[in-house]
């Protein structure tokens, strides 16, 4: 049942220490259920890390294919020794062994990234020119996959997802001094409990450069300063977040956009047929035209339709999609925006995401 967001009391805390960490870390949660789910993950990870000295392909049983592209594939697998299910991302890298080893070392940084808003990282290994990245299996898919199933997200769902994403971005900056650099719906995963988490952030410059060709459409979400080759900061992620929120809320990618005339895709029920892709405008622009729109065009906005979008949501997107990066709000500022911190209708995220699944 949807209700009003209650003023938060003292956060629930969980102190964790994994075998790869030299110090303990305290993680905060809003609910007891979220705390228990994360605690189960921490225990699973500790058991997994304590069961192996060196990982090989033979340590896993394949469950099913989750996704495939030119640069690699993602499989759901089960670790034989512990029975832990996880997502195994295979990325083909045509690089020298020394660089491959460096990438693995940099990926180990992810062991220190412990947050309920970041996809969990179990470890990595390489085999025959492939980097194998072992991650938490987010069993409801990525937000772009969910979008194809539902047409568009209700504002209440957008708000909850956005709050989790901003918390994740804030954690990356404050604890690891990391800029995500690739915020888009396909890099936000969600599980059947309704928890949205970030994945594929740029910890390793070598890794990002090596697999850039696998990120189809990434440039579309880049902030103007990145497209034009200027220096960028964490605020560049804020622009990408705003673009993603418009796309989720309307069902349509918003660039190029003519004023406030962006079409809104009708929401679908689980029983409606799923189209091959979310509706897109006719005559899609070339890459050059798209980049020109990002740098020189008017910033995208949510349609001014009060019966669909609140004034707070429209303003939130506007402060995200500000051309001047210095004038753009920071992640900390976004957490204090009324669209996120005010009292609002709070949906049952678990019930909603389960309603989008066909099996």
What average pLDDT does range 214-236 have in this prediction?
73
Same domain, 90 and 235: no
What's the pLDDT score for residue 208?
Answer: 42
Looking at the fold, whether 125 and 156 belong to one and the same domain comes out as no
Domain boundary residue, one of 112, 135, 158: 135
Per-residue model confidence as pLDDT tens digits over 178-196: 778 788 999 899 999 999 9
Tell whether 118 and 182 lie within a shared domain: no
Q: Please tell me which residue in 182, 200, 272, 315 is annotated as part of the active site.
A: 182
Residue 268 — φ and ψ, nearest 5°? -115, 155
Span 98-125, pLDDT tens digits = 666 666 666 766 777 778 898 988 888 8
Which of 118, 135, 152 finishes a domain?
135
Looking at the structure, do residues 78 and 216 belong to the same domain, yes or no?
Answer: no
How high is the pLDDT of residue 239? 94
pLDDT for the residue 292? 86
Task: Please report, for the domain that includes residue 43, its CATH number.
Answer: 3.30.200.20
**Quick check: is 182 catalytic?**
yes
**pLDDT on residue 212:** 35
Confidence of residue 7 (pLDDT cuts 50, 70, 90): very low
Q: Are 213 and 72 in contact (CB under 8 A)?
A: no
| Residue 18 token pair | 């994994």
- Percent of the chain at pLDDT > 90 equals 36
Question: Is it the case that residue 4 has pLDDT exceeding 60?
Answer: no
3-state SS, the chain, equals CCEECCCCCCCEEEEECCCCCCCCEEEEECCHHHHHHHHHHHHHHHHHHHHCCCCCHHHEEEEEEEEEECCEEEEEEEECCCCCEEEEEEEECCCCHHHHHHHHHHHHHHHHCCCCCECCEEEEEEECCEEEEEECCCCCCEHHHHHHHHCCCCHHHHHHHHHHHHHHHHHHHHHHCCCCCCCCHHHEEECCCCCEEECCCCCCHHHHHHCHHHCCCHHHHCCHHHHCCCCCCCHHHHHHHHHHHHHHHHCCCCCCCCCCCCCCCCCCCCCCCCCCCCCCCCCCCCHHHHHHHHHHCCCCCCCCCCCCCCHHHHHHHHHHCCCCCCCCCCHHHHHCCHHHHCCCEECCHHHHHHHCCCC
Is residue 120 domain-shared with residue 168, that is, in the same domain?
A: no
Over range 133-149, report the average pLDDT.
93
The stretch 6-29 carries a mean pLDDT of: 59
**pTM for the structure as a whole:** 0.84
Nearest CA to 187 out of 198, 203, 172 is that of 198
Tell me what pLDDT residue 104 has.
64
Q: What is the pLDDT of residue 244?
A: 96
- Residue 283 is predicted with a pLDDT of 58
| Same domain assignment for residues 112 and 179 | no
Whether the per-residue pLDDT at 5 is higher than 50: the answer is no
User: What is the per-residue pLDDT across 31-84, written as a single tens digit (0 to 9) for each?
Assistant: 788 888 888 888 888 888 887 778 888 999 999 999 876 567 899 999 999 999
Domain carrying residue 19: 3-135
Q: What is the pLDDT of residues 282-335, one digit of tens each?
A: 556 677 788 888 888 889 999 999 999 999 999 999 999 999 988 999 888 999
The residue written with tokens 């605690």 in the block is 39
Percent of the chain topping pLDDT 70: 76
Say whether both 111 and 201 belong to one domain: no
Per-residue b or e along 50-82, where b marks 16 or more CB atoms closer than 10 Å to that residue's CB? eeeeebeeebbeeeeebeeeebbebbbbbbeeb
Residue 54: per-residue pLDDT: 82
Give the pLDDT of residue 265: 82
Q: What is the pLDDT of residues 236-295, one digit of tens each?
A: 889 999 999 999 999 999 988 755 567 788 777 656 655 444 444 455 667 778 888 888
Residue 292 shares a structural domain with residue 151: yes
CA gap 49, 26 in Å, rounded? 20
Query: For the chain, what is the domain count?
Result: 2
Looking at the DSSP bridge assignments, the partners of residue 279 are none
């Amino acid at each position: 049942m949807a209700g009003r967001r209650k003023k938060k009391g003292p956060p629930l805390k969980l102190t964790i220490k994994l075998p790869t960490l030299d110090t303990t870390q305290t993680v905060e949660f809003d609910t007891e259920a979220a705390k228990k789910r994360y605690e189960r993950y921490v225990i699973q990870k500790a058991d997994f890390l304590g069961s192996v000295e060196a990982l090989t392909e033979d340590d896993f049983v394949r469950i099913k294919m989750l996704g495939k592209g030119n640069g690699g594939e993602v499989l759901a697998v089960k670790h034989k020794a512990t029975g832990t299910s996880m997502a195994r991302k295979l990325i083909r890298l045509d690089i020298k062994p020394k660089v491959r080893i460096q990438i693995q070392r940099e990926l180990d940084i992810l062991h220190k990234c412990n947050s309920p808003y970041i996809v969990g990282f179990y470890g990595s290994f390489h085999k025959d020119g492939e980097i194998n990245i072992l991650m938490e299996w987010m069993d409801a898919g990525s937000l772009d996959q969910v979008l194809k199933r539902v047409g568009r997200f209700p504002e209440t769902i957008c708000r909850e997802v956005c709050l989790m994403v901003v918390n994740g971005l804030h954690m990356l900056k404050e604890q690891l001094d990391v800029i995500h650099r690739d915020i888009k719906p396909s890099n936000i995963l969600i599980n059947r409990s309704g928890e949205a988490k970030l994945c594929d952030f740029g910890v390793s410059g070598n890794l990002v450069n090596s697999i850039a060709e696998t990120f189809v459409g990434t440039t579309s979400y880049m902030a103007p300063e990145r497209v034009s080759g200027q220096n960028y900061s964490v605020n560049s992620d804020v622009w990408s977040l705003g673009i993603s929120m418009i796309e989720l809320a309307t069902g349509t990618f918003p660039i190029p956009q003519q004023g406030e005339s962006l079409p809104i895709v009708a929401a679908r029920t689980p029983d409606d047929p799923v189209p091959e892709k979310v509706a897109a405008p006719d005559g899609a622009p070339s890459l050059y035209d798209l980049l020109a729109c990002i740098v020189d065009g008017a910033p995208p906005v949510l349609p001014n339709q009060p019966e669909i979008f609140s004034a707070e949501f429209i303003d939130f997107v506007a402060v995200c999609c500000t051309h001047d990066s210095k004038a753009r709000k920071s992640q900390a500022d976004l957490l204090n925006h009324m669209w996120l911190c005010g009292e609002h209708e709070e949906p049952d995220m678990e019930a909603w995401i389960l309603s989008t699944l066909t099996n």
